Structure 1
Amino acid sequence: SCRAVREAVVADNAIYGVTTGFGGLANVRVSREEARGLQEGLFKFMNAGAGGFLPRDDVRAAMLFRCNSHLHGASGVRFEIIERVVAFLNAGAVPRVREFGSIGASGDLAPLAQIMGAVTGLAPHVDVEVGDDGEVAGCLEVLKQLGLEPLALEPKEGLAMVNGTSVMTGIAANCLHDFRRLLRLALGAHALFFQALRGTNQSFHPFIHQHKPHPGQRRVAEAMLGLLRGSHLSRDELGGEHADRGQQPIQDRYSLRCLAQYLGPVVDWMESAWAQVETEMNCANDNPLIDPESGQSFHGGNFFGMYVAVAMDQLRYFLGLVVKHLDVQIALLMAPEFSNGLAPSLIGNTARRTNMGLKGLQITGNSLTPLLTFLGASVADRFPTHAEQFNQNINSQGFNSANLARQALVIARHHVAISLLAGLQAVDLRCHALLGTYDAADGLSKGTAALYRALKSVLGRAPSRDRPYVWDDHDQVLEEDIERVARAIADDGGRLIASLEDVGL
């Protein structure tokens, strides 16, 4: 495709962004003598990012996906440029990319201009973070360290490098990875809640879900059956029995009984979103595209990030649903009239009348839930209709949507941490009530006992037969425990995640 572009320039054929100006200035013809300068100028006028900087992992994902896009051979980019990006990746050299500046229409123009401007040396103002210790150097210095010189561009190469969805897709891929992990931990928290509340596994009986066979619903039901199997705390009623519960309803409240039906659509959406983002990772997404066989160029819009935008809008929406459900379950645990007799606010030492238990923990969780449901509002439909000389008069907002998704995941991570801590205290209290020990591992199912031990390990607490997680209020600082668990959740290879690796999600 590079040869086809060069031949078109020599023949003075009209190709957008090669022998014409960009965007609303595509009516301006550019001579063959000006073609190279046009490409290099992109890194000057797109030097307009704003705000802080994207996380390293998101930028690295963007760099990888940009290479993948160009490897289709339809972008008119020399292999040498792809090799440069790979050299940066292998050296742990990550350009610093501003968090604002893309409307997701003609791709991620400003963010990609910063990435590729650093790789080529055509944006000397861009700094590069080198290695895991956060050392920052100018891109020209990093190029020198890698034995590379600033690169002169061929016609179309600048446009091909900055015109695409790679940055929003990199963010989205990492967000979906984190979402799946949080959903798995949310199920672990629900399994702790079920056992603390003495819920029944009957709600997940295959007979029920065979008669409403949504794939996600069935997967959640199967996962919960596995997580509850062998528990001495929850009710085993898979044989169809309905044990008398005294003054309590004979069946669980909806947040327990309808869990599979509630979370099933979340699982089905997650798989659909993964498929869409995976397609976006593996496509050629710049414009124009060049057929290397015929030499023809095709003007189109593969740079338009609507699939990413919608997926990330929906991620935030579903994240709100997941967390609101957890918040409801915590409320049941805190109230003796709904918790089947657990102490109010899960107080450990009820003899000490000044103990208030996990009241503060619950309120912090309550404060996070409205933020998440607010962030669940869509941004893809709020695009400016006048962007860039009215040329980009529809735009995806994919970059903004993905950035908001990352922010929402940070909030959700803390709520899941709170949920796990509440579940930890609750199962300690329930196990003591039923089995006479505060070491809940003695009564929990095998699947949740592993999670329980991992949580205790993260908190630096050995399981105790004599005391629950929280005994007296002054024994621990809850906000420190929230942060410990939230950090463990963020740790991709951590003990918490490993404890639930067999959950089928």
Structure 2
Amino acid sequence: MSEILSSATDLKTIVIDGAPLSLFEVTRTSAEHCRFELSEDPEILSRLRRAEEIISVAVNEGQNIYGVTTGFGSLADVVVPPAFAARSQNNLLSFLATGAGEPIDARHVRSAMLLRANMLMRGQSGIRLEIIDRFVRFLQAGATPVVRELGSIGASGDLVPLATIARAITGQTDYCQVELDDETIDGRTALDRLGLEPIELKPKEGLAIVNGTSFSAAVAANACGEVRNLLGLTLVTNAMILRALNVQSAPFDAFVHECKPHPGQMWVAQRMRELLFQPPNHHYTNGHVQDRYSLRCFPQYWGPSVEAFARICDTVEIEMNAVSDNPLIDTIECRIVQNGNFLGQYIAQAMDDLRTHIGMIAKHLDVQIAQMVSPEFSLGLPASLRGNESLSYNMGLKGLQISANSIMPMLTWYGNPLTSHYPTHAEQFNQNINGLSWGSAQLAWKSVQLFQSYTSVALIFAVQALDLRARTNLGHYDGRKLLSPAMQSLYECVYDTLGLSPGGKKPLVYDDADQWLEAWLAQLTDNIREEGSLVMSVQHAVDAFDDFRLPRHANDFNTTDDRGCRP
């Protein structure tokens, strides 16, 4: 995929050519308005035509090709005569019309359409350029098929959700809905508005659209994009909390981590040194011999999650750039190859892991919050971080901690694996192992949304604790004075998002009745979800996660032979 900046409109033009996409290119284009167009590279178009011709010849010769001249799945032994090979593809979209539950986020659908179109442009699936162009026409117009959250087991990929897209772009039935121009309309009406006619599929084309992991990979990519922002936010939030708890500098000393040189641990320690221990606080002690584990072992605790996130992102990038269709067409050897690339195991386990590490990070924050609200553990901060202690009925952030305590167990519960629970009898025992990648990715997205709310809670605690620590240490409530410039931006953005100004006369929360914390949480969470000023204020930390990425990237796929495969 290449990008061109349109001088007329300043919109990015995304040229879909089968080249590798980066994970964050996908998340960005799903949220931003872009122009899309298909590559006109003669070599790519020639490969597409060769694959289509190989299928056509095989059908006319009466060859036995799975899903083309046979039935599907456990009915693969049923012969489909050449005369019915095209009708079988159209019927495929009908019997897969079984989605259930609520509609998923439109961003996932757009990401899936981009990934599927890009995969099909590799020329290994046997589909016409005319069909691929319909993905682009829908993306360009902002026409988004309504896809339900339930229906895929990640075995033959994401059959049911991808079939929803297929029905919309082909117009094979009215039984689909499309969001277009702030309306929800039926698929045929959407085609009319886009100036398109319903189109009959040819042999193999239905299978080319629906068989594969593009949808699971799309949801996974978007989840990783959000977690990237959240890790940046929570890293800086943790630094603010550590400063409010007067953490000592010794456990973050480079010497310590050179003695145990796990890459993630060393990376976290370096980030915390940059955030926390700048002059005049380069070397800091608090009177204790040593801090509690959640403070002293921060790099050792966070390090495995940082490494895991890097591995997860690499896994998702590889999968979303893979050709996960079955059968595949080798245009060099002129052969059709049955395979199992459609199994969503990699995405499933990656999303299980992502949820586990989200839960681990949330639980660590929960421990830090518990220390901040307890004077015996916080080096003298007021109980429940009460602002105005002169009013005996002020309870401070007691209710907010209860809210946090309600979210954290859910995040750790979501960290339980789904992948091991696959049904062994699926589809007449044909799909007797299945990845559950769709379900695992959906749970990861729900976990992300909970984590966004939890991060909002943690931000309020961090800022309040800093303001109260400033009073103890400096005689005023301006918590900025305790922070390095790299942390001050986030502190100030919290105040700004809530429509307040920091200044030192009062802490963030003074009297309980002065604010509606529920409204504050909504404001902060919306800002995070919209990738607003809170995320932008920690962009240095967000970008640092990209620097940590493990050596293997999607760019490794650039070296290809004429089939578009890695040698």
Range class of TM-score, shorter chain:
over 0.9
Say which SS state the counterpart of residue 69 (structure 2) adopts.
Answer: coil
Q: Does 1:55 align with 2:101?
A: no
Q: Superposition pairs for residues 17-416 of structure 1, below 5 Å?
A: 17-131=67-181, 134-230=182-278, 236-237=282-283, 243=285, 245=287, 249-416=288-455
Distance 2:209 2:174 in 1: 16
Distance 2:402 2:164 in 1: 42
Provide closer, same or farther for how the CA distance between residues 103 and 409 of structure 1 changes in structure 2, counting only shifts above 3 A.
same
> Structure 1 length as normaliser, TM-score?
0.96
Distance 2:271 2:398 in 1: 30
Q: Does 1:419 align with 2:458?
A: yes
Asked if 1 retains the 8 angstrom alpha-carbon contact of 2:463 and 2:491, the reply is yes
CA positional deviation for 1:244: 6.4
Distance 1:218 1:78 in 2: 50
Distance 2:507 2:237 in 1: 17
Asked if 2 retains the 8 angstrom alpha-carbon contact of 1:197 and 1:339, the reply is yes
Distance 2:252 2:530 in 1: 31
Distance 2:206 2:174 in 1: 15
Say which SS state the counterpart of residue 313 (structure 1) adopts.
Answer: helix
Distance 2:524 2:274 in 1: 24
Distance 2:491 2:279 in 1: 13
Between Structure 1 and Structure 2, how many residues are aligned? 493
Residue 385 of structure 2 aligns with an amino acid whose one-letter code is L
Distance 1:300 1:231 in 2: 60
Partner residue, 1:463: 502
Partner residue, 1:501: 539
Partner residue, 2:60: 10
Say which SS state the counterpart of residue 302 (structure 1) adopts.
Answer: coil
Q: Greater relative contact order: 1 or 2 (C-alpha under 8 angstroms, separation 6 or more)?
A: 1
CA positional deviation for 1:201: 2.7
Distance 2:139 2:266 in 1: 40
Asked if 1 retains the 8 angstrom alpha-carbon contact of 2:159 and 2:211, the reply is yes
CA positional deviation for 1:208: 1.3
Distance 1:360 1:116 in 2: 48
Distance 1:58 1:191 in 2: 33
Provide closer, same or farther for how the CA distance between residues 284 and 491 of structure 1 changes in structure 2, counting only shifts above 3 A.
same
Distance 2:286 2:180 in 1: 64
Spell out, residue by residue over 1:13-54, the C-alpha distance to the aligned partner (whole angstroms, 9 max, x if none): 001000000000000111110001000001110011101111
Distance 2:279 2:99 in 1: 54
Distance 1:185 1:202 in 2: 24
Distance 1:244 1:286 in 2: 60
Distance 2:111 2:266 in 1: 33
Residue 270 of structure 1 aligns with an amino acid whose one-letter code is F
Residue 84 of structure 2 aligns with an amino acid whose one-letter code is E
Distance 1:499 1:479 in 2: 23
Distance 1:167 1:69 in 2: 12
Distance 2:224 2:273 in 1: 25
Distance 2:274 2:178 in 1: 47
CA positional deviation for 1:464: 2.4
Provide closer, same or farther for how the CA distance between residues 231 and 319 of structure 1 changes in structure 2, counting only shifts above 3 A.
farther
Residue 386 of structure 1 aligns with an amino acid whose one-letter code is H
Residue 536 of structure 2 aligns with an amino acid whose one-letter code is A
Distance 2:432 2:232 in 1: 40
Distance 1:438 1:72 in 2: 60
Distance 2:414 2:465 in 1: 30
CA positional deviation for 1:442: 2.4
Say which SS state the counterpart of residue 540 (structure 2) adopts.
Answer: coil
Identity %: 45
Q: Structure 1 regions of 5+ residues with no counterpart?
A: none
Distance 1:206 1:443 in 2: 22
CA positional deviation for 1:231: 6.7
Residue 291 of structure 1 aligns with an amino acid whose one-letter code is D
Asked if 2 retains the 8 angstrom alpha-carbon contact of 1:128 and 1:136, the reply is yes
CA positional deviation for 1:202: 2.5
Distance 1:479 1:289 in 2: 53
Distance 2:115 2:398 in 1: 46
Distance 2:485 2:474 in 1: 16
Asked if 1 retains the 8 angstrom alpha-carbon contact of 2:208 and 2:326, the reply is yes
Spell out, residue by residue over 1:179-238, the C-alpha distance to the aligned partner (whole angstroms, 9 max, x if none): 111111111111111111111232222111112111111111111112114376xx5327
Say which SS state the counterpart of residue 51 (structure 1) adopts.
Answer: strand
Distance 1:388 1:465 in 2: 65
Asked if 2 retains the 8 angstrom alpha-carbon contact of 1:109 and 1:163, the reply is yes
Asked if 2 retains the 8 angstrom alpha-carbon contact of 1:72 and 1:283, the reply is no
Asked if 2 retains the 8 angstrom alpha-carbon contact of 1:68 and 1:283, the reply is no
Partner residue, 2:48: none
Partner residue, 2:46: none
CA positional deviation for 1:482: 1.1
Q: Which moved more, 1:378-387 or 1:198-207?
A: 198-207
Say which SS state the counterpart of residue 377 (structure 2) adopts.
Answer: coil
Residue 502 of structure 1 aligns with an amino acid whose one-letter code is H
Distance 2:296 2:118 in 1: 45
Say which SS state the counterpart of residue 502 (structure 1) adopts.
Answer: helix
Asked if 2 retains the 8 angstrom alpha-carbon contact of 1:195 and 1:231, the reply is no
Distance 1:34 1:495 in 2: 57
Say which SS state the counterpart of residue 524 (structure 2) adopts.
Answer: helix
Asked if 1 retains the 8 angstrom alpha-carbon contact of 2:246 and 2:286, the reply is no
Residue 10 of structure 1 aligns with an amino acid whose one-letter code is N
